[in-house]
């Protein structure tokens, strides 16, 4: 418009001003953090989080309705402000990506500026509010006219606003309770949260049976000098299966016998129905270089059965690894008060009850497949439907970007 | 079918590709052998697809778990992207780049063979597993391609030979790649809710995937604001790829990622 170069802080603001604002926000957040002396921003819960969300929406809407021509509001919905807001957020996530979280004692700087709890730090809160302000204003600006071009834009920006706002504000309302169920115990209606405090659940559970299917155990060769499994061209283990003959490095291994449930009987392994039985295999191992052959039993053992290695020479010993779980599930009776159901709880298959989702989490790993304990987690997240609404808007927005691409830009160029 | 057959299949694939690229290159003016060249490139892609399919059947699980297995998918998708881009915009150099990079990944796989490991931990046994990883790998392939284009653009800029079509191609790749990246991230969130009880746990891999997403987001915003500026977006695009690489395999070496549920099995 005019040839005179714009002075700094003269409107319209560009990248320079945007990044100076962001720098100030960053400093402000760090000062807050130092003043708070390690007290993290603990988040807000119902109903304060709803009120905060509504206040944010009202303020952004008022700014949009009454001051949309004001240079500051214009700037907040401009691309330079957006880039500065995303950059600040990215910078914080970058710190999160590099600094291990939860340990304040790694370095004094990490402790003083709260970089060990970035998600709950003041600068993260400030950055999120700045990002939400920019996003909200620009989404409102493009909400009318609601034509084809703007719909894609709106889906992406409003969707992101909803996910960030509802995810952030709703975090304080998430209840996560771990419940340890024992096969012989009765109904349990309490669980422990992350602070190990006991909380009551609006339903009760009783474990009938815990069951694990296991993969076949793996067999590998350990270097006695380093104590580690040897990798032969990236291959460290083979699977024990009767009748198999495989090569691992310089050795040919034949599995002549494999017993999935075995007990040791004076050096031998025999099939056993007892609890705590472990897999065992009889191997013939030939050294291809020296032509030596070693035969013997191999077992990974369990809490009841001793493990057994097979020494190959001075430096190498063959070991069987504990089998990995293929599938584990709990047979549980769930009583919601109104009715009682028998369910099978499995990883990736949660069960819904009274506003909670229950998940198969873990078991007594020392006991392996003989575990009598099942650890389940009950999770309640009342804001989930809102977050999902945002996620589905973003999914639709991504589909839009895929189909339409950067059509607008093609016209610009 | 397993990794033992890999050298044979890999060799056939690479030979097909080299022949294809040579035929297409010598047909620069005459167009004489262009069709045959295309068929050879496609034959290479088909060979690799057959290997992957048979490997999947043999392993009794999707071959998407270890780094080597994801490299294999990458070697499949990058040529696909390259081939479609070449058909659409007639960039021969781009096809060569894509095939060259894919061949490089295949050679890395030959030098570092993988196990026959059939185990798949329960958390990965979900209908979300395949779409989540495939969508991501497709996004990575597209974004890697965009970075290649950016590097080519930088070369052009410094030799005063820059053409806006280069950046426009980069934009197209970024837009499509970004939409797939978004899908991967969101599929991951929906799956995480089913598997771990929360859609976002700031697991190191999630953090780095989000960082990758954010860096391409910055690029796209910059481009809409100042489409005439060239050097900054070209450099940004080259750098964004570094973050993507950290996310993809650098994460295995980061101190903050010790407890990640996403660290790939490399045994």
Measured between CA atoms, the residue of chain B closest to residue A103 is: B256
pLDDT at A391 over 80: yes
Helices (H), A104-181: 108-112, 122-141, 148-170
Alpha-carbon distance of A326 to A343, in angstroms, equals 20
Q: Is B193–A384 a contact, with Cβ atoms under 8 angstroms apart? A: yes
Nearest to A312 by CA among A289, A344, A336, A346: A289
Say which residue, A97 or A80, is predicted with more confidence. A80
Is the distance from CB of A99 to CB of A110 less than 8 angstroms? yes
- In this prediction, residue A3 has a pLDDT band, given cuts at 50, 70 and 90, of low
Mapping DSSP onto H, E and C, the string for chain B reads CCHHHHHHHHHHHHHHHHHHHHHHHHCCCCCCCHHHHHHHHHHHHHHHHHHHHHHHHHHCCCCCCCHHHHHHHHHHHHHHHHHHHHHHHCCHHHHHHHHHHHHHHHHHHHHCCCCCCCCCCHHHCCCCHHHHHHHHHHHHHHHHHHHHHHHHHHHHHHCCCCCHHHHHHHHHHHHHHHHHHHHHHHHHHHHHHHHHCCCCCCCHHHHHHHHHHHHHHHHHHHHHHCCCCCHHHHHHHHHHHHHHHHHHCHHHHCHHHCCCCCCCCCC
pLDDT of residue B265: 45
Other beta carbons within 10 Å of A63: 19
Predicted confidence (pLDDT) per residue in A19-43, tens digit: 999 999 999 999 998 898 877 777 7
- In this prediction, residue B257 has a pLDDT band, given cuts at 50, 70 and 90, of low
pLDDT of residue A345: 95
The 8-class DSSP code of residue A349 comes to: B
Predicted confidence (pLDDT) per residue in A336-384, tens digit: 988 999 999 999 999 999 999 999 999 998 888 899 999 999 999 999 9
Q: Is B194–A350 a contact, with Cβ atoms under 8 angstroms apart? A: yes
Mean pLDDT (whole number) for B11-22: 94
Nearest to A210 by CA among A189, A177, A180, A178: A180
For residue A329, what is the enclosing H or E element? Answer: strand A325-335
Alpha-carbon distance of A62 to A134, in angstroms, equals 14
pLDDT at A413 over 50: no
Q: Is A96–B119 a contact, with Cβ atoms under 8 angstroms apart? A: no
Nearest to B140 by CA among B254, B260, B247, B261: B247
For residue B79, give how far its alpha carbon lies from the nearest alpha carbon of chain A (Å). 19
Measured between CA atoms, the residue of chain B closest to residue A81 is: B221
- Give a yes or no: residue B47 inside a domain: no
Q: Is A325–B121 a contact, with Cβ atoms under 8 angstroms apart? A: yes
Percent with pLDDT over 70 in chain A: 96
Structure tokens at B191: 């799956």
E strand intervals along A169-299: 175-182, 188-192, 198-214, 218-223, 228-229, 237-239, 245-248, 251-265, 268-271, 278-287, 293-299
Q: What is the mean pLDDT of chain A?
A: 90
pLDDT of residue A82: 96
For residue A65, what is the enclosing H or E element? Answer: helix A48-67
Alpha-carbon distance of A317 to A283, in angstroms, equals 13
Is the distance from CB of A106 to CB of A117 less than 8 angstroms? no
Nearest to B234 by CA among B174, B173, B167, B179: B167
pLDDT of residue B4: 67
pLDDT of residue A5: 78
| Minimal Cβ distance to A86: which of B68, B115, B214 | B214
Other beta carbons within 10 Å of B84: 12
Residue B267 with chain A: CB contacts under 8 Å: 229, 231, 234, 236-237
Alpha-carbon distance of B136 to A18, in angstroms, equals 33
- Where exactly are the structural domains of chain A? 15-173+385-412, 175-213+326-380, 216-323
pLDDT at B185 over 50: yes
Alpha-carbon distance of A333 to A249, in angstroms, equals 50
Nearest to B220 by CA among B184, B183, B167: B167
Nearest to A293 by CA among A283, A301, A302: A283
| Minimal Cβ distance to B115: which of A237, A387, A397 | A237
- In this prediction, residue B2 has a pLDDT band, given cuts at 50, 70 and 90, of low
Is the distance from CB of A236 to CB of A220 less than 8 angstroms? yes
Predicted confidence (pLDDT) per residue in B198-234, tens digit: 999 898 889 989 999 999 999 999 998 888 889 999 9
pLDDT at A409 over 50: no
As a whole number of Å, the CA-based R_g of chain B is: 19
- Give a yes or no: residue B128 inside a domain: yes
- Give a yes or no: residue B266 inside a domain: no
Alpha-carbon distance of B51 to B239, in angstroms, equals 33
- In this prediction, residue A61 has a pLDDT band, given cuts at 50, 70 and 90, of very high
- Give a yes or no: residue B180 inside a domain: yes
| Minimal Cβ distance to A402: which of B176, B186, B190 | B176
Q: Is B171–A346 a contact, with Cβ atoms under 8 angstroms apart? A: no
Q: What is the mean pLDDT of chain B?
A: 84
Tally of domains within chain B: 1
DSSP letters, A83-124, are: HHHHHHHHHHHHHHHHSPTT-TTS-HHHHHTTTTSGGGSHHH
pLDDT of residue A210: 95
pLDDT of residue B212: 92
CA B62 distance to own-chain centroid: 17
Mutate to test the interface with A, among B179, B208, B244 (most CBs of A within 10 A): B179
Range of the domain at B186: 121-257
Secondary structure (3-state) at A146 = coil
Other beta carbons within 10 Å of B159: 8
Alpha-carbon distance of A142 to A44, in angstroms, equals 31
For residue A265, give how far its alpha carbon lies from the nearest alpha carbon of chain B (Å). 30
Give me the helix-helix angle, B67-89 and B129-158, nearest 10°.
60
- Give a yes or no: residue B141 inside a domain: yes
- Give a yes or no: residue B218 inside a domain: yes
End-to-end CA distance of chain B: 20
The β-bridge partners of A235 are A232
Give the CA count within 13 Å in the CB-facing half-sphere of A257: 14
Q: Dihedral (C-alpha) B128, B133, B139, B141: value to the nearest 10 degrees? A: -160
Residue B172 with chain A: CB contacts under 8 Å: 405-406
Predicted confidence (pLDDT) per residue in B158-176, tens digit: 998 888 888 888 998 899 8
Percent with pLDDT over 90 in chain A: 59
Alpha-carbon distance of B201 to A338, in angstroms, equals 33
pLDDT at A76 over 90: yes
Predicted confidence (pLDDT) per residue in B85-142, tens digit: 788 767 787 788 889 888 988 888 887 665 556 677 888 888 888 778 888 888 888 8
Q: How many CB pairs under 8 A join A and B?
A: 155
Nearest to B51 by CA among B20, B87, B88, B14: B14
pLDDT of residue B117: 62
A311 CB-near residues (< 8 Å, 6+ apart): A294, A317, A318
Alpha-carbon distance of B265 to B121, in angstroms, equals 11
State the residue for tokens 């919601």.
Answer: A336
pLDDT of residue A286: 92
- The CA–CA distances, whole Å, from A211 to A320, A346, A363, B115 equal 22, 10, 10, 28
Mean pLDDT (whole number) for A247-266: 88
End-to-end CA distance of chain A: 21
Mean pLDDT (whole number) for A73-91: 95
Measured between CA atoms, the residue of chain A closest to residue B213 is: A90
- In this prediction, residue B66 has a pLDDT band, given cuts at 50, 70 and 90, of confident
pLDDT of residue A406: 57
Q: Is A401–B182 a contact, with Cβ atoms under 8 angstroms apart? A: yes
Q: Is A100–B256 a contact, with Cβ atoms under 8 angstroms apart? A: yes
Mean pLDDT (whole number) for A85-90: 96
pLDDT of residue B267: 33
């Amino acid at each position: 418009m005019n040839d005179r170069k714009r002075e700094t802080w003269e409107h319209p603001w560009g990248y320079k001003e945007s990044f100076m604002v962001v720098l100030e926000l960053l400093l402000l957040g760090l000062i807050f953090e130092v003043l708070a002396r390690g007290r993290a921003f603990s988040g807000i819960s119902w109903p304060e989080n709803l009120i905060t969300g509504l206040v944010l929406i009202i303020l952004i809407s008022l700014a949009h309705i009454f001051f949309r021509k004001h240079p500051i509001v214009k700037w907040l919905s401009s691309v330079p402000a957006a880039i500065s807001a995303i950059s600040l957020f990215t910078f914080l996530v970058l710190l999160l990506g590099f600094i291990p979280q939860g340990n304040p004692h790694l370095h004094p700087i990490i402790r003083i500026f709260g970089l060990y709890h970035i998600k709950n730090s003041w600068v993260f809160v400030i950055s999120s509010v700045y990002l939400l302000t920019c996003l909200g204003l620009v989404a409102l600006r493009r909400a009318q006219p609601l034509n084809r071009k703007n719909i894609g834009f709106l889906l992406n920006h409003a969707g992101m606003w909803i996910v960030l706002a509802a995810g952030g504000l709703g975090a304080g309302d998430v209840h996560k309770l771990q419940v340890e169920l024992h096969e012989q115990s009765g109904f349990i209606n309490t669980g422990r949260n992350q602070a190990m405090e006991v909380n009551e659940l609006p339903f009760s559970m009783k474990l009938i049976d815990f069951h694990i299917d296991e993969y076949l155990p793996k067999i590998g060769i350990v270097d006695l000098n380093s104590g580690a499994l040897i990798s032969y061209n990236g291959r460290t283990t083979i699977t024990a299966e009767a009748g198999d003959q495989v090569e691992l490095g310089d050795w040919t291994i034949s599995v002549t016998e494999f017993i999935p449930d075995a007990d040791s009987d004076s050096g031998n392994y025999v099939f056993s129905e007892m609890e705590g039985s472990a897999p065992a295999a009889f191997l013939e191992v030939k050294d291809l270089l020296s032509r030596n052959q070693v035969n013997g039993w191999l077992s990974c053992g369990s809490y009841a059965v001793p493990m057994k290695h097979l020494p190959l020479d001075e430096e190498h010993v063959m070991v069987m690894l504990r089998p990995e779980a293929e599938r584990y599930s709990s047979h549980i009776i769930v009583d919601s008060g109104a009715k009682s159901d028998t369910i099978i709880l499995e990883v990736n298959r949660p069960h819904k009850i009274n506003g909670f989702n229950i998940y198969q989490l873990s078991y007594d790993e020392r006991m392996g497949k003989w575990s009598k304990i099942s650890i389940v987690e009950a999770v309640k997240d009342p804001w989930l439907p809102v977050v999902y609404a945002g996620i589905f808007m973003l999914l639709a927005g991504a589909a839009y970007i895929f189909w339409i691409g950067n059509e607008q830009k093609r016209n610009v160029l | 079918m397993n990794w033992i057959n890999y050298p044979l299949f890999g060799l056939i694939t690479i030979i097909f590709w080299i022949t294809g690229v040579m035929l297409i290159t010598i047909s620069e003016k005459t167009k004489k052998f262009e069709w045959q060249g295309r068929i050879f490139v496609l034959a290479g892609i088909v060979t690799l697809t057959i290997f992957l399919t048979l490997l999947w059947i043999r392993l009794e699980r999707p071959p998407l778990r270890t780094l080597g297995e994801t490299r294999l998918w990458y070697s499949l998708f990058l040529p696909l992207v390259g081939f479609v881009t070449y058909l659409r915009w007639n960039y021969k150099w781009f096809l060569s780049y894509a095939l060259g990079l894919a061949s490089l990944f295949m050679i890395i796989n030959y030098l570092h063979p993988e196990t026959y490991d059939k185990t798949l931990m329960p958390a990965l046994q979900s209908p979300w597993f395949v779409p989540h990883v495939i969508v991501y790998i497709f996004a990575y392939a597209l974004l890697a391609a965009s970075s290649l284009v950016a590097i080519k653009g930088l070369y052009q800029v410094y030799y005063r030979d820059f053409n806006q079509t280069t950046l426009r191609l980069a934009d197209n790749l970024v837009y499509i790649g970004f939409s797939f990246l978004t899908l991967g991230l969101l599929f991951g969130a929906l799956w995480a809710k089913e598997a771990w009880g929360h859609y976002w746990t700031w697991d190191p891999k999630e953090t780095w995937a989000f960082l990758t997403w954010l860096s391409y987001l910055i690029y796209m915003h910059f481009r809409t604001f100042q489409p005439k500026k060239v050097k900054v977006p070209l450099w940004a695009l080259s750098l964004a790829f570094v973050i993507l690489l950290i996310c993809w395999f650098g994460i295995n070496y980061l101190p903050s990622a010790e407890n990640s549920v996403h660290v790939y099995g490399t045994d």
